[in-house]
Amino acid sequence: MHYKWKTGMWAWVIHRVTGLALTFYLCLHIWVVSTLSSEATFNTTMKFLTSPMFKLAEIGLLACIIYHSFNGIRILIVDFGKGAYYHEKLFWGLTTVGVLLWLAGSYPLIMHAVGH
């Protein structure tokens, strides 16, 4: 069987990938917080978490959060309304809003990462 890689299939795949990324982040976050037992560990961890490379990774986290939440809203509309008739327009509309929100949210993170 051959699947047609159209909008619905891409939305499904990206939703699963972002869900896995958010689950990984949550587990990592809990682990990092649970290992902060001494002042030296705390200072070392904070030095890493405030590095420009980590700040840039937060931009990716923001993208995952926005996509996953907006696509979840799209799924609710499609499943509980008449959204199946216009699921592709919903996908592109919410993705556009999500990209604009991501750009607005990424700007302060980028400025903070480069030290402005």
Q: What is the rounded distance in angstroms from the CA atom of residue 55 to the CA atom of residue 43?
A: 17
Domain coordinates in residue numbering, the chain? 7-113
Structure tokens at 11: 């939305």
For the segment(s) 7-113, the CATH number from 1.20.1300.10, 1.10.10.10, 1.10.540.10, 3.40.50.300 is 1.20.1300.10
Q: Is 59 helix (H, G, I), strand (E, B) or coil?
A: helix
**Per-residue pLDDT at 53:** 83
Q: What is the pTM of this model?
A: 0.84
Q: 8-18, pLDDT tens digit by residue?
A: 889 999 999 99
What proportion of the chain, given as a percentage, has pLDDT over 90?
43
Q: 21-48, pLDDT tens digit by residue?
A: 999 999 999 998 888 888 888 888 888 8
Tell whether the model's pLDDT for residue 1 goes beyond 80: no
**Per-residue pLDDT at 6:** 83
Side chain identity, residue 64: C
